[in-house]
């Protein structure tokens, strides 16, 4: 379960989302050094990878062929058509005993000329990804995405099953590009006695790993109604240890206005 994205109306300042929403493929050159690693070995290392938005939400990295250990990539095993990209050639990535079937994608005859000599690794085909010397998770960070976390005095209430489970005048509001605003509340303002830790975990490339809570109201368990980032990434430290409730699973009221 991940925090929902709403791309029904791409922001005008985001050409990548506007392009993919219209069915096109948006391509940019990144200035970050990007590395992909498998079994402790670098399989791709480039200071000029492409960022390619094949569809909305987030981009994928494409490496120039000369920056890839192509000897680890087998011949194409099959092809499939991808709208706007052409025929995708699917290859197996193999290093020692490690193997990722169809873990590599190339477009040697793509209508987008820039992609013809580039290689894409499926995210999970390798063990780890680095932008410069910092490991990244889930997917590449979108250069058009911004996160602002602001201290607020808004009156925030959350109810589940008709029971008030949180009330705060000191939330921190997280504004993320093209994502609904989230209210993070101090635990002292939350009925933690009604929350039970869940086994659910999700990862965000901008915030880190979220731990989820279910609410037990009477004899009813409401699964995964809230989440918290115990140790968020440095840029999101302001929400460390705070609790956020799903607007879709809780009745959230901010300054007497229902979300």
Residues 6+ apart with CB under 8 A from 118: 50, 62, 63, 64, 65, 106, 107
Provide the mean pLDDT of the chain.
Answer: 91
Among left, alpha and beta (phi > 0; psi -120 to 50; other), residue 218 is left
- Domain end: 102, 136, 170, which one? 136
pLDDT digits (tens, 9 = 90+) for 216-236: 999 999 999 999 999 999 999
Could you tell me if 129 and 151 lie in one domain? no
Is the same domain home to 173 and 126?
no
**Tens-place pLDDT, residues 50-86:** 999 987 668 999 999 999 999 999 999 999 999 899 9
Residue 177 token pair: 């590009």
CA distances from 21 to 1, 9, 25, 50, 81 (A): 23, 9, 9, 19, 19
Indicate if 100 and 131 belong to the same structural domain: yes
User: Domain for residue 7, yes or no?
Assistant: no
200 part of a folded domain: yes
Average pLDDT over residues 148-153: 97
Determine how many CB atoms are found less than 10 A away from the CB of residue 253. Answer: 16
Residues 130 and 166 in one domain: no
Domain end among 95, 114, 136: 136
Considering 83, 105, 136, which residue would you say is the last residue of a domain?
A: 136
CATH number reported for the structural domain that contains residue 181 in this entry: 2.170.150.40
Confidence of residue 163 (pLDDT cuts 50, 70, 90): very high
User: Which domain covers residue 82, as residue numbers?
Assistant: 15-136
Query: Are 41 and 121 within one domain?
Result: yes
In a domain, residue 120? The reply is yes
What would the pLDDT profile of 91-121 be if each residue is shown by its tens digit? 999 999 999 999 999 999 999 999 999 999 9
Same domain, 87 and 181: no
**pLDDT reported for residue 6:** 29
3-state helix, strand and coil shares in percent for the chain, rounded to the nearest 5: 10, 50, 40
Q: Are residues 44 and 117 in the same domain?
A: yes
How many domains is the chain built from? 2
3-state secondary structure of 218: coil
Compute the chain's Rg from CA coordinates: 21
| pLDDT(171) > 70 | yes
Over residues 83-90, mean pLDDT = 94
Predicted TM-score (pTM) of this structure: 0.82
């Amino acid at each position: 379960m991940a925090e929902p994205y709403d791309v029904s109306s791409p922001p005008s300042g985001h050409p990548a989302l506007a392009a993919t929403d219209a069915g096109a493929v948006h391509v940019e050159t990144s200035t970050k050094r990007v590395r992909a690693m498998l079994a402790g070995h670098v399989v791709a290392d480039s200071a000029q990878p492409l960022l390619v938005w094949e569809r909305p939400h987030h981009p994928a990295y494409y490496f120039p062929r000369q920056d890839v250990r192509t000897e680890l990539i087998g011949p194409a095993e099959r092809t499939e058509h991808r709208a706007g990209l052409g025929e995708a050639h699917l290859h197996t990535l193999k290093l020692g005993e490690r193997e990722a079937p169809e873990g590599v994608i190339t477009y040697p005859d793509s209508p987008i000329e820039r992609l013809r000599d580039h290689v894409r690794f499926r995210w999970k085909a390798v063990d780890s990804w680095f932008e410069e010397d910092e490991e990244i998770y889930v997917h590449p960070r979108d250069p058009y995405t911004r996160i602002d976390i602001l201290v607020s005095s808004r009156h925030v209430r959350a109810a589940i099953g008709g029971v008030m489970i949180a009330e705060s005048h000191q939330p921190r509001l997280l504004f993320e590009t093209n994502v609904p605003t989230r209210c993070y509340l101090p635990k002292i303002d939350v009925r933690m006695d009604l929350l039970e830790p869940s086994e659910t975990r999700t990862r965000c490339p901008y915030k880190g790993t979220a731990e989820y809570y279910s609410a037990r109201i009477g004899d009813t368990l409401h699964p995964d109604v809230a989440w918290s980032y115990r140790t968020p990434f440095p840029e999101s430290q302001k929400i460390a240890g705070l609790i956020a409730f799903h607007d879709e699973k809780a009745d959230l009221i901010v300054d007497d206005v229902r979300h």
